[in-house]
Homo-oligomer: A and B are copies of this chain.
Amino acid sequence: MTDYKLEQVQKNSCFGGVVYKYQHYSPVLSCTMRFNIYLPPAVSANPNSKVPVLYFLSGLTCTEDNMITKSGVLQYLSNENIALVTPDTSPRNCGIEGEEDAWDLGTGAGFYVDATTPKWSKHYNMYSYISNELPEIISSNFPIIKSKSSIFGHSMGGHGAIMIALRNPGMFKSVSAFAPICHPSECHVGIKCFEEYLGPKSACWDKYDSTELASNYQDQHISILMDQGSDDSFLKDNSLLPDHLVAAVENSKSFISLETRVHPGYDHSYWFVQSFIKDHIDFHAKFLNA
């Protein structure tokens, strides 16, 4: 078994459960990574109990902390006795030239792909990290029920959540997203990252693109909830393209249920995310606590 050198960095009581911060060595990313995990009251009450788990993928510039500190989610997870895992958004401190130079490339911008270009491929393998290595670490070290996992995310992390769920049918009970980047192959920030990490546009981009994947999805049925603010500047500059995903799902509507909600006046921030986070926990709890 791989030794990930898992190390507890912090521990805080919250809503009857505990928030832990861990760091570990990631062989797939060739660097040290951090994540937070919230274990709800059921675990504090009985260390032998196991609980369902939600993974949350954050957006560009975020660390493992933004969502868990800013979304107000823990009270709802406490009520539902669901664990939460919040990973970081990219490898860090890898010594790659220019990794810190832009907000939308390199550090904080892993984009949940496995890089194939020589410059990034040693470290930037967030697809394998999120879809494989991290769930293995979580299920072998924490009291969670692996078969009751769901995933959600925000912006770049909404792209990651939908894309990873569509590529791994049955792995997640449900998926949701706040203002996801729905069609990375066709928006400025997606194209920038895909070209750097995957090389010039080719068919291999498609397997990391929710719209392309949704359009051809014919596997286990999956339910997706998507929330979008109407005053989101990334929506207005065509970085998100939710209508592309909605259209793609039309092709696969026997296999994908997509509920989309538009919220007038809301933007792309965690002020938006926190306003609707309860609905997302209610949505996932229907599947995880069924």
Contacts and interface: CB of A to CB of B under 8 A. Distances in A.
A231 B274 contact: no
A75 B278 CA distance: 10
Interface in A21-77: 69-70, 72, 74-75
Find the residue from A70, A74, A275 having the highest chain B CB count within 10 A: A275
Interface stretch (A146-154, A160-168, A263-271): A263-271
A87 interface: no
Given A13-B266, A13-B272, A72-B274, 4 more contacts: A13-B231, A13-B263, A13-B275, A69-B270
A93 interface: no
B231 A271 contact: no
Interface of A: 12-16, 19, 69-70, 72, 74-75, 229, 231, 263, 265-267, 269-272, 274-275, 278
5 contacts: A13-B229, A13-B267, A14-B272, A72-B74, A75-B278
A263 B13 CA distance: 10
A50 B254 CA distance: 50
Contact of A12 (B12, B75, B269): B269
A286 to B, nearest CB: 21
Given A69-B270, A70-B69, A265 B75 contact: no
Nearest to A78: B275
A271 B73 CA distance: 12
Nearest to A68: B271
Contacts of A270: 69
B13 A271 contact: yes
B75 A14 contact: no
